[in-house]
Structure 1
Amino acid sequence: MLLLQKHILLLSFRPRTATTLISFPHRCLFSNTRFPTTTTAAAAAVATSASPLTFAVEDYLVASCHLTPKQAVKASKVLSHLKSPSRPEAVRAFLSDLGLSHADVAAVVVYDPLFLCSEVDKTLAQRLAELRDLGLSPSQIARLVLVDPARFRRPTIISKLKYYVPLFGSFETLLQALKNNSYLLSSDLENVVKPNVALLRECGLGDCDIVKLCVPVPRLLTTNPERVKEMVERAEDVGVRRGSAMFRHTLLAVAFLSKEKIAAKVEFLRKTFGWSEDEVAIAVAKLPVVLRNSQDRLQRMAEFLMYEVGLEPEYIAHRPAMLTYSLEARLKPRYYVVKFLKDNGLLKRERSFYTAAQVSEKVFVEKFINPHKKAAPCLAEDYAATLKGKVPTRFRLQEPRTSSNSI
């Protein structure tokens, strides 16, 4: 009887010892795991080894995908179902083979966390093969992944590229547009993009014109066709007809501007420059982009051109290109040079300021600076000062003389 009691007592101590030895927490890319502390559960744990470890998504995103902790927290919310790193690791290997850097991979995961859940063999490798069949190089495919990882995973990207690449003339040109608006890859080709392209062609625009229009403003292709029709009507309302050389520029200027904003800008131009309705129409027809200039810029232009240079409103209306030039870096410096040359009899009076304003910098120096080096040796220096915003009180005909007493 005494031996039986001792045996029972020894059995009661063994599970506690086992529990103490295996209850230390284990951390890596996995969450903590503690074994049960009851006698029966502890014995079962020893017999069947440890329970499966849980995949810690946040830790993996930081350690392997190079996300910041804040980015990892946000991305992990849609990746909580992952139980192991096997599929994300396969995806990372795929991206690495494409030539993507650690920073690129992080950008892909931040943009589209579910990319890590892609099946490499059934999805990514298949997409890669299809894109290569279209003639894209690995580097081009890598850049396409970076533009829109989510669309890359979908088979519809192939039909989109088959349509867009010929339209834009090259993959590189298309890529420029995609960087401005990746919705090109998600928009409905049949019901949105193609009707918009057809309408632009009806306006007399060739594919080359459409590309020039839609690379800077690709939303014209992805916007509801009814809205694009309204934009075309607004372009016609400002006095530029379809098929004219300036229609593309006009459409670019009025795109996404409401009728009210266009009317307000037209009224501002009329009052600021003292133009009649016909003169406003002439200026806008010649330079549609004037409708996008800020009121402050237009006000400063009007004050300089009319009150300092002395140009008539009608003269400006027929030469609105002057309104596109920089006031500080072009118009003012060149005006001071022309005025100085005329005041000192070095330039024919009939030589217009507009002629000096519109030529390139190289031509301006050759025509208005270099020929007068002997008569005005300081002209180049004074002109350079005006380009830096240091407008001299007056231009100089000669170098200042050094007093003999200063030696």
Structure 2
Amino acid sequence: MLRFLHRKLIQIRVPAKDSKTRVFSPQNHHPTLQSISNLSHSTLQSSLTLSYLEKSCGLSPESALSASKKVTLKTAENPDSVLSLLKSHGLSKTHISKLISRRPQLLSANPDKTLKPKIRFFNDLGFSGAALAVFLSSYPIVLCSHLKNRIIPSVDFLKNIVHTNENVLLSIKRWPRIINCNLQTKMNPNLSILKDHGVPESNIVKLITTSPRAPVHNPERFRETVEIVKEVGFNPVTLNFILAVRVVTGLSKLNWERKIELYKSLGWSGDEVLSAFRKQPLCMITSEKKIKRVVNFFVDELGWKPSAISKKLIHIRVPAKDSKSLVFSPQNHHPTLQSISNLSHSTLQSSLTLSYLEKSCGLSPESALSASKKVTLKTTENPDSVLSLLKSHGLSKTHISKLISTRPQVLSANPDKTLKPKIQFFNDLGFSGAALAVLLSSYPIVLCSHLKNRIIPSVNFLKTIVHTNENVLLSIKRWPPILNYDIQTKVNPNLSILKDHGVPESNIVKLITTSPRALVHIPQRFRETLERVKEIGFNPVTLHFILAVRVVTGLSKLNWERKIELYKSLGWSGDEVLSAFRMQPMCMVTSEKKIKRVVSFFVDELGWKPSAISKYPNILLLSIDKRIVPRCSVVRLLMSEGLVKKDLRIYGVLQLDENSFYEKFVSEFQNRVPEVLKAYEGKMEFGWEKEGQSYNS
């Protein structure tokens, strides 16, 4: 009989309701489990690879299957280090999933010798935060390229032409593959061709930063392209010449002819197509659907002749189908156009503000309307500079949208004098990349706080207490509003109260780094909290005392009483609730839903008495879906095979770290009992045989 001795943190996955009737036996396995017994060692590695790609890298089963053909993982140690490195540089789960699905071989790369130097190189170049994440996830092959023989030479060559890191970044963002090209061989001849045709250096830079793919074409074909563009009538000294080169190099002869035929079918002559191309080269790469909609609207709805459109290439939003009655004349403008003439200067600014908040900041119409009441934009110049600054420090569109919706006034701040010094201060403190983006987007008011009078004094005071920048960062991440408090007035009295009660300095540091909010309570109430915690039986020199203070300061009297009533409704006595709180204070802030699931499982499925659970309250803290059921499934399976003793202390098994458990119970037995891997991965239903059985606490 299993003896479950739970004295420390335990997780349980609650089985499906119908699992009560299941009997865990070799005769009643899932068909997939039966097939595992025939797996060879290599197939087991394949299974580990598939599992890792799905669970740790976030790939879909189909993508994982495809990726597993390109990489084989023997253990999770190196892949874990690779993922840890990527996460530390701001790559989200989505970025990592995209990266690994495209280049799964990276999981086998040496994170310190191969990957870290390349990532550091791109950091130094200017890629960080969201920009680095997008770059690596969209073009992960760059992490497989040789740093000294390919990446650095390509970047140096580019910089020699476009002069600045910013332009190098623009070129790489436009076409990441440029890093893997032998630019000396591929691009240099084409640059000479452009110079020979009189293209100014500034326009060559423009071509490389907007369409770096164009100048790596075959030199012979590139020369023909440049000559065709000149023959059409473009002047090599103009930017339109470069634009035309971009278009022609990007279009095959077939697609060029198709686009000409499309325009002709809509009523243009060949000369009109060519004339339109001279005026606006990009008209030849506009989608067929858009061309038809625009031309049809101007011809059918506004009464234009097709030839008139070829003379006036404009950007236009095609109205809804029900706008057929519109006639484009001064007497019958669209209602919106009529209303604009009546707008006051302030209303126009409001319209500009709404439009900017939606289009440039990514706010929903509702959020934009709300935000527009807090800020008025006269022009887009300053807001553009603000957004550019935020993006350059790794804030994604999502971060910016969240930041601006919460604190739209930031758009009116001086980016150089007000925002940049604060961001630089947080950079120096240790916030950068994803960490900085999260801080600013979750607590943007900090950008409106005075740097010298509020932020710096708060940080300096914190550092005198917690001693290190790392601890200061932890405190701010836990509760960013601490930056806006007069800590000298709010926190200092409570620190004295803690010391008066005999709390060690190390534990005070622990409280500030884990729950800084607890220390900004009114001193009188804070003192009452400490005295209450001592009366319950906590020793001020222990970490449990600090934990109890965190819990009590964070719970209102009403919520405290509700939690007590919840435990009583599940079969605990008042004394048992208090006893559980003494052993594990966090049991009082565990969610009601989780408490009910855990208690119900232990009582209904394992046959425990409610009072037994109160003696081991740590079981209420951890996820009930990730550890216990897989491990108990493994042990139960091995017991059924006679490979482990039936009096094995499950408590000890649950306390093992992941690697130790895997080595001792999975790796050790998976050749003899292949199903053990499925059990470990949580892919087996765990049913308890309850005929006359109960499981001791």
How many Å apart are 1:287 and its aligned residue? 2.0
Which one is further off, 82-91 or 69-78? 82-91
Given the alignment, which residue of 95, 109, 112 partners 2:404? Answer: 109
8 Å Cα contact 2:461-2:488 kept in structure 1: no
Q: Which has the higher contact order (CA 8 A, sep 6+)?
A: 2
Aligned to 1:161: 459
1:297 Cα deviation (Å)? 4.3
Q: Which residue of 2 aligns with 1:194?
A: 492
Aligned equivalents of 2:508, 2:449: Cα separation in 1 = 27
Write the letter of the residue equivalent to 1:388. Answer: K
Separation of aligned partners in 2, 1:355 and 1:367: 12
1:290 counterpart residue number: 587
Q: Which amino acid aligns with 2:485?
A: S
What RMSD in Å do the two structures reach over aligned CA positions? 5.0
The 5 A counterparts of 1:322-341 are: 322-327=619-624, 329-335=626-632, 338=635
Residues 162 and 265 (structure 1), Cα distance of their counterparts in 2 relative to 1, 3 Å cut: same
Give the distance between the partners of 1:381 and 1:143, measured in 2 at CA: 38
Quick one: which of 337, 358, 361 aligns to 2:655?
358
User: Which aligned pairs between 1:387-406 and structure 2 lie closer than 5 A?
Assistant: 387-388=682-683, 390-391=685-686
Quick check: which has more Rg, 1 or 2?
1
Q: What is the TM-score of this pair, normalised by structure 2?
A: 0.41
Distance 2:574 2:347 in 1: 80
- 2:618 maps to which of 321, 326, 329: 321
Match among 511, 518, 528 for residue 220 of structure 1: 518
1:75 to 360, 371, 374: 371
**CA–CA distance in structure 2, aligned partners of residues 294 and 371 of structure 1:** 38
Structure 1 CA distance, aligned partners of 2:397 and 2:603?
57
The residue correspondences of 1:180-329 to structure 2 (distance < 5 A) are 180-205=478-503, 209-210=507-508, 212-259=510-557, 261-262=559-560, 265-266=563-564, 269=567, 272=570, 277=575, 281-294=578-591, 297-298=594-595, 300-302=597-599, 304-305=601-602, 309=606, 318-327=615-624, 329=626
Rounded to whole Å, the distance in 2 between the matches of 1:179 and 1:251 is 20
Counterpart code for 1:231 = T
Query: Which residue number in structure 1 is paired with residue 413 of structure 2?
Result: 118
Letter of the structure 2 residue corresponding to residue 75 of structure 1: A
Tell me if structure 2 keeps the 8 A contact 1:196–1:221: yes
Q: 1:269 to 1:356 in 2, by over 3 A?
A: farther
Offset of 1:312 from its aligned partner? Answer: 7.0
Cα shift at 1:225: 3.2
| 1:243, distance to aligned residue in structure 2 (A) | 1.6
AA of the residue aligned to 1:112: R
On the 8 A contact 1:157/1:185 being kept in 2, the answer is yes
Looking at structure 2, the residues matched to 95 and 237 of structure 1 have their Cα atoms a distance apart, in angstroms, of 50
- CA–CA distance in structure 2, aligned partners of residues 103 and 122 of structure 1: 25
Q: Could you tell me which of 355, 358, 364 is aligned with 1:59?
A: 355
Cα deviation code 1:147-190 (max 9, x no counterpart) = 54433233222222222345455556545544553321222323
Unmatched 5+ stretches in structure 2: 1-329, 334-338, 690-697
In structure 2, what is the Cα distance between the partners aligned to 1:345 and 1:142?
54
Q: Deviations over 1:207-260 (max 9, x none)?
A: 654454445544213333334334334433432121223212222333322445
The separation in 1 between residues aligned to 2:564 and 2:676, in whole angstroms, is: 40
Pairing of 1:88-99 with structure 2 (within 5 A): 88-89=383-384, 91-92=386-387, 94-95=389-390
> Contact between 2:466 and 2:472, CA under 8 Å: does it hold in 1?
yes
Check whether the contact 1:235–1:251 (CA below 8 A) recurs between aligned residues.
yes
**In 2, Cα distance between the equivalents of 1:306 and 1:141?**
46
Summarize the Cα distance change of 1:383–1:166 in structure 2 as closer, same or farther, 3 Å threshold. same
SS in 2 for 1:391: coil
User: In 2, Cα distance between the equivalents of 1:333 and 1:99?
Assistant: 39
Residue identity opposite 1:363 in structure 2: S
TM-score, normalised to structure 1, is 0.63
Instruction: Answer yes or no: is the 8 Å Cα contact 1:283–1:319 preserved in 2.
Output: yes
> Separation in 1 of the partners of 2:607 and 2:648?
15
Q: Which amino acid aligns with 1:358?
A: Q
The residue number in structure 1 matching 2:676 is: 380
